[in-house]
Amino acid sequence: MKNPTLNDRHLAAGFVALISSLVGIGSLVGGIPAYSQVLLSDDFNSGTQVNPLEWRVPFPGDGSFLGQTQLNTDNTSLPSIVGGAAVLELSTFLDGSVFSGSEMITKRNFALGGGLVWKARMKINSTTPNGVVGSGFLFDVSRETPPGTPVRDEIDLELLSNEANGDNRVLTNTWNDEDFINGAGDSAFVPAMVPPPSPYDLNVFHDYEIRWTPGKVQWFIDHASVRTVTSAEVPNDPMKSRFNIWVPDSGFTSAYDPSLLPAANAGANKTYTMEVDSVSVERINTTTGPNLLVNGSFEDISSGSPGNWSQFNNAFDDDVESSGVLPEDGSFSMKTFGPFKFDANGAASDASGAFQTVTSGILPGKEYSASVFAWSDSVDTIFDRDNFAEIVLAFEDSNGTTIDERTTPIYDGRDGLLTTAGVQDQWNKFTVEGLAPAGTTQATVSLFFIQVNSDDPANPGTNIFRNSGNGAIWFDDASLVQLNSFAAADFNQDGRVDELDLGIWDNAFGNNANADADNDSDSDGNDFLIWQQQFTGPPSVATASSFSVPEPIALELAVLGCCVMILPRPVTPRPRRRNR
């Protein structure tokens, strides 16, 4: 941070006075707006495994094989927490032909809004041999363009053990709408090995940061910028946060090492680790609209069932007197449990739940966030069952055909950590976000309790609800809101960048981060330059502030030329050298 000098303060006061006189206002009153929302913050300081409310492992077939590595897909064995860090393991033995790696994925995804700031402290341990990759990244492969062709969006930071004995560079990548099957569509994609700030050792913890804003991706290591991309490869789809450790094949030349081979038997197994000390995701420059769902808290039951919701199978309003579960808000919640019936073919899973379709306020190109509170009760638990619950956000055309769909898993009876303290017997919030594609006219929020049936082991060919039994999930306080991004210099979030925002900058200059347009935790001259670049009016002020400000000295000269009579004279004038 540049410390404000007396001359800087004179400059700021002079320019604000000039703007005030031009627009005819006597004083500018600054507010204290909230510029960011913390969506994820995990320091891994509690428990023995990572929090199952926030994290899961890949589902089988969910991109769970990388290079020469099969990633763990057993959600009962989430990464351990040791010494205040999440530990992801890589084993050299699985079946004698491949490696066994680890990945942890956030259950929810994160829409861009006005910008996302992803931060993590991570390392690969010093005993790790060449040929190993440890990654922290944002990733999505939910959308299909065209239908049947999944496309990926991704921004990543990769620690390559090959670099530990060399230049200690870090690999950065970004993709936008890459054909995930054939690899086409990424002609503009350029991976970059970036040299980190010195001194640097990827075998010790460092601070890594991805700043993802509309049209731009920036990477930082230990708070120093190492790369910026503004090409067509900047993603726009909501993504989940992931960490993994794995062994690539020869196609990943910069990370591959032919001497690292899978162990032939369990006795020869070796284990290597990647550690994540902390991770956070923060959304900036974004506000939310009103709740587009009607009766999101299930309080309106005048028709005998929750108004505006379409319920199916075993889903109904519930109060504390009926079940003993106190609603998250108000007097009612919605209880769901398995329908105990097969579909028309007698084989597929079946579900209970409710959905609501919204037509007003749903616009193509806009981002939306759907949330719900859910409760898993230890008295009527789904633990050790095959049942699970989820929230789904679907965007549909005028015919009701789904164009794009996003899902967040909620509770899963197959999760061995479901009985962890703080998971059952309390309300927990779950969120899914999406970007409405072209052709969207409506959105549907669905709350599902899914009951799995499968082949009866004792009678092959006969379907049963194997190990489904009892178990219920309660839902309450559902919402669907539009995410509205605003300019970084719109400090009061009124949709304009104008003299009121300049007043906020003036009050915050050198004092606090209330006018932090560049997200560097202070209010300084760089934030003023962003205000100038994003200025929207009124016209009289636009003319006054339209001069180019390439560097602080040029800014000073320009303002001095306009308002030399306004600026107080320094008490002790001193000659100052100007670089030319």
pLDDT digits (tens, 9 = 90+) for 40-82: 999 999 989 999 999 999 987 677 899 999 999 987 789 999 9
Q: What element of type H or E holds 320? A: helix 320-323
Which amino acid, one-letter code, is at 260? Answer: L
Residue whose token pair is 């290597």: 272
**337 or 270, which is more confident?**
270
Residue 5's Cβ-count burial label (10 Å; 0-12, 13-18, 19+) is exposed
Q: CB-based burial of residue 96 (10 Å sphere; 0-12 exposed, 13-18 middle, 19+ buried)?
A: exposed
CA-to-CA distance for 382 and 361, rounded, in angstroms? Answer: 36
Angle (deg, nearest 10), helices 552-563 and 525-533: 70
Q: What is the pLDDT of residue 467?
A: 54
Minimum mean pLDDT range among 20-29, 139-148, 214-223, 293-302: 20-29
Identify the bridge partners of residue 519 per DSSP, sorted by sequence position: none
Supply the pLDDT for residue 571: 42
Output the pLDDT for position 576.
38
Average pLDDT over residues 343-347: 55
**Residue 169, by phi and psi: left (phi above 0), alpha (psi -120 to 50) or beta?**
beta
Average pLDDT over residues 421-427: 84
* 103, burial (CB in 10 Å: exposed 0-12, middle 13-18, buried 19+): buried
Q: Which of 43-57, 135-149, 237-251, 404-418 has the lowest mean pLDDT?
A: 404-418
Characterize the bridge pairing of strands 99-106 and 69-71: parallel
Looking at residue 36, what is its pLDDT? 78
Which of these, 363, 412, 410, 404, lies nearest to 387 by C-alpha position? 412
Task: Enter the tokens of residue 90.
Answer: 């890589």
Per-residue model confidence (pLDDT) at position 423: 86
pLDDT at 382: 84
Burial class (CB in 10 A: 0-12, 13-18, 19+), 70: middle
Q: Peptide bond preceding 197: is omega within 30 degrees of 0, i.e. cis?
A: no
Q: What is the dihedral sign for C-alpha 38, 521, 121, 180?
A: positive
Tokens of 250: 């020869």
Please, what is the average pLDDT of the chain? Answer: 82
Lowest mean pLDDT among 92-106, 151-165, 380-394: 380-394
**Residue 160 pLDDT greater than 70, yes or no:** yes
The CATH class of the 310-485 domain is: mainly beta
Cα–Cα dist 350/114, whole Å:
39
The more confident residue out of 332 and 555 is 332
For residue 311, pLDDT over 80 is answered with: yes
346-364 tens-digit pLDDT: 555 578 999 999 999 999 9
- What local confidence, expressed as pLDDT, does residue 18 receive? 47
Q: What average pLDDT does range 538-542 have in this prediction? A: 46
Main-chain phi, psi angles of 7, to 5 degrees? -65, -40
CA distances from residue 188 to 32, 143, 483 in whole angstroms, order as listed: 41, 20, 29
CB environment 440-468: b (16+ within 10 A), e (fewer): bbbbbbbbbbbbbbeeeeeeeeebebeeb
Looking up tokens 């428990």 gives 47
* Percentage of residues of the chain with pLDDT beyond 90: 54
Q: How far apart are CA 396 and CA 446, in angstroms?
A: 13
| Least confidently predicted of 66-75, 517-526, 532-541 | 532-541
| Residue 485's pLDDT band (cuts 50, 70, 90) | confident
Which pLDDT score, from 0 to 100, does residue 473 have?
A: 94
Average pLDDT of the residues in 172-177:
92
* pLDDT reported for residue 459: 61
Domains 47-207+237-284 and 310-485 share a fold: yes
CB 14 within 8 A of CB 8: no
What is the distance between the alpha carbons of residues 513 and 515, in angstroms, rounded to a whole number? 5
**Least reliable range by pLDDT among 110-124, 388-402, 413-427:** 413-427
- Per-residue pLDDT tens digits for 90-103: 999 999 999 999 99
| Residue 548, pLDDT above cutoff 50 | no
At 185 the pLDDT is: 54
The bridge status of strand 99-106 relative to strand 367-376 is unpaired
Q: Above 50 in pLDDT, residue 555?
A: no
Q: Are strands 99-106 and 55-56 parallel, antiparallel or unpaired?
A: antiparallel
Q: Which amino acid does the sequence have at 529?
A: L
Of residues 160 and 488, the one with the higher pLDDT is: 160
d(CA 116, CA 199): 28
Stretch 163-191: mean pLDDT: 78
pTM: 0.81
Q: What is the pLDDT of residue 577?
A: 36
pLDDT at position 345: 57
**Mean pLDDT across 331-360:** 80
Burial status of residue 196 (CB atoms within 10 A of its CB: 0-12, 13-18, 19 or more): buried
Classify domain 47-207+237-284 at the CATH class level. mainly beta
Q: What are the sequence ranges of the domains in the chain?
A: 6-35+493-563, 47-207+237-284, 310-485
Asked whether the beta carbons of 175 and 235 are under 8 A apart, the reply is: yes
pLDDT given at position 580: 31
Give the integer Cα–Cα distance in Å for 338 and 350: 8
Give which of 33, 23, 22 is closest to 508, Cα–Cα. Answer: 33
Confidence of residue 190 (pLDDT cuts 50, 70, 90): low
Q: Are 274 and 134 in contact (CB under 8 A)?
A: yes
Q: Which residue has the higher pLDDT, 62 or 258?
A: 258
| H or E segment to which residue 242 belongs | strand 240-246
pLDDT classification of 31: cutoffs 50, 70, 90: very low
Q: Of the given ranges (32-46, 162-176, 423-437, 472-486), which has the lowest mean pLDDT?
A: 32-46
Q: With CA atoms as reference, report the closest residue to 155 among 205, 195, 120.
A: 120
